Chains A and B, each alone.
Chain A
Amino acid sequence: MTLQEINAQLIEINNMYNSGQISPAEYKSLLEGLEISQVIAESAEEMAFKEDLNKIINNAINALSLIA
């Protein structure tokens, strides 16, 4: 989930809890889910950066092997 999606869902969850549509236990579980979503978002971003870096390194190696 993106940070905007996490934020939007947080608002929705709070509204649902305040209007009594979800129980306290369900509210807690959903909030914990948002916490996990934040960790996944950060880790996925790190992994995407490594993938981009991998491409750059391999491109550089390929280019150098053409010259050498």
Chain B
Amino acid sequence: MKKILLSLFFASSLSSCALYDAYMMAGYDTNEYGLSVKIQTIGELGPKSCSNQSTSYLNFKDAYEKSVELKNFTMHIEDNKDAHKLATELTKLTKGAVEMYEKQTTVSEPFCKLKMAQIEKNANQISHVLARKPR
């Protein structure tokens, strides 16, 4: 009984827009979660190849392409703007890395490792919230 009253009190103290947004949010999607985990994995394993320019470039390109796929996948699903926003930001992050390899003939190993760390940690955070979506 206490739980019900607490839930009702909390729910009634928020604006109707916030409640509607939360209630109607898009549910868990295996494809969304799978893509973000793949990007996270590239970020985790990528640093091992940072001494090799061409392999690193291909790894970053792979992460970028998967980010674009995630962004496109989340785009048209109803009530999914939060996931789409996260995917869009991740795409910007991975695109920056690809552009560096396309602009510079030699990219430093420290840059590669730091950028991979950024991709891994952000994709991990996104995977976490995508996994918690309502089922």
Q: Do A and B interact?
A: yes
Q: Which residues of A contact B (CB under 8 A)?
A: 1, 5, 9, 12-13, 16, 21-23, 25-26, 29-30, 32-34, 36-37, 39-41, 43-44, 46-48, 50-51, 53-60, 63-64, 67
Asked whether, in the complex, the Cβ of A56 is within 8 Å of the Cβ of B117, the reply is no
Nearest chain B residue, comparing its CB with the CB of A32? B96
Instruction: Please give the distance in Å from B36's CB to the nearest CB on chain A.
Output: 11
Asked whether, in the complex, the Cβ of A29 is within 8 Å of the Cβ of B100, the reply is yes
A-B contact count (CB 8 A): 121
- Interface of A, secondary structure class, is helix
Given the complex, which residues of A lie within 8 Å of B85, measured CB to CB?
43
Asked whether, in the complex, the Cβ of B108 is within 8 Å of the Cβ of A63, the reply is no
Q: How far is the CA of A23 from the CA of B99 in the complex (A)?
A: 14
Judged by a CB distance under 8 angstroms, whether B83 is at the interface is yes
Given the complex, which residues of A lie within 8 Å of B82, measured CB to CB?
43, 46-47, 50
Asked whether, in the complex, the Cβ of B134 is within 8 Å of the Cβ of A30, the reply is no
Instruction: Please give the distance in Å from A4's CB to the nearest CB on chain B.
Output: 11
Judged by a CB distance under 8 angstroms, whether B90 is at the interface is yes
Q: How far is the CA of A5 from the CA of B125 in the complex (A)?
A: 12
Interchain residue pairs with CB less than 8 A apart (13): A5-B121, A22-B114, A36-B92, A40-B89, A40-B90, A43-B85, A43-B89, A47-B129, A50-B25, A50-B82, A56-B11, A57-B7, A59-B3
